[in-house]
Every structure is written in C-alpha cells, then in structure tokens.
Amino acid sequence: MSKKIAKVVKLELIGGEAKPGPKLASAGIVMPKFCTDFNAKTGDRKGEVVPVIITAYEDKSFDYVIKTSPVAGLLLKAAGIQKGSSNAKTQVVGHISQEQLKKIAEYKLPDLNCDDLEAAMKVVEGSARNMGIAVDK
C-alpha cells in the first residue's frame, strides 16, 4: 500500500544552507531532519540556488528531488556579472564563450525538455540572449 501524499512543494534553497523556517513549514515536514539531509547532499553546491521538489506524506514523512541550478544563475556566474540587462535587445551586459555555453548545457541537460546537447545549447543560448549576454562564436 502506498503512502498518501499530503502536499508537493517546489522550493529554491541555497545549497548547504537550508534551515527551518516559514518556507519549509508550509511543506508540513520534520524540518530539522530535512535540513540536515539536504545540507549534507548539497554541501558541494554552497552559495548556489538549488531547486528542490518536496513530496510530503500524511504520516509526516517526505521524499525530495534535487534539481540542477537555474540557467540564469549559471549564466551570470559564467559572464562574471551581477544581473542581466534591463533591455536585452539593445544592451549587452556580458559575454560568454561557446565552451562555457556547452558546459552549462551539459549540466542542465537532465532537467531540460530536449534530448541532445545541440538542442540544450540553443535553449541556454536563448536564455543568455534574453538576459543581454552575448555568446562569442
């Protein structure tokens, strides 16, 4: 017999720095247990935004899935800038190389809705363009 799902919550937490609070309280789980487990698994991603999907069950147990970091954060880090352009059509605020683009696409491929690296690179390149980051050929 399977457990009855009480709630599914999608959160973005900082890697290795999860702590009990209102975000986790809304999930209805045992917060200290989740925090220690999450922090242990994401210790190598300190400072990065880490998306997580928590499935809480009626008996207060839970499961969670850790996703890859958002493309926007990875692009900002690769370009060495703080934020994207306010007008991406006319203002370029940073540059990344084809190699950096490929590296980000390889990292994000499991969470993207495409099958091959070439398509993943196009998805990431589109995000870069919308942020005002040029991809050097």
Take residue 116 and report the two structure tokens written for it: 């091959």
| pTM of the complete model beyond 0.75 | yes
CATH classification code of 71-136: 1.10.10.250
Q: Where do you find CATH 1.10.10.250 in the chain?
A: 71-136
Per-residue model confidence as pLDDT tens digits over 91-106: 899 999 999 999 999 9
Per-residue model confidence as pLDDT tens digits over 17-58: 888 888 788 878 888 899 999 999 998 988 889 999 999 988
Q: Where do you find CATH 3.30.1550.10 in the chain?
A: 5-66
Take residue 27 and report the two structure tokens written for it: 């999930």
Q: Which strand (E) or helix (H) includes residue 80?
A: none
CATH classification code of 5-66: 3.30.1550.10
User: 10 — phi, psi (to 5°)?
Assistant: -105, 125
Beta-carbon contacts of residue 7 (< 8 Å; ≥ 6 apart): 27, 28, 55, 56
Cα within 13 Å of Cα(7), Cβ side: 10
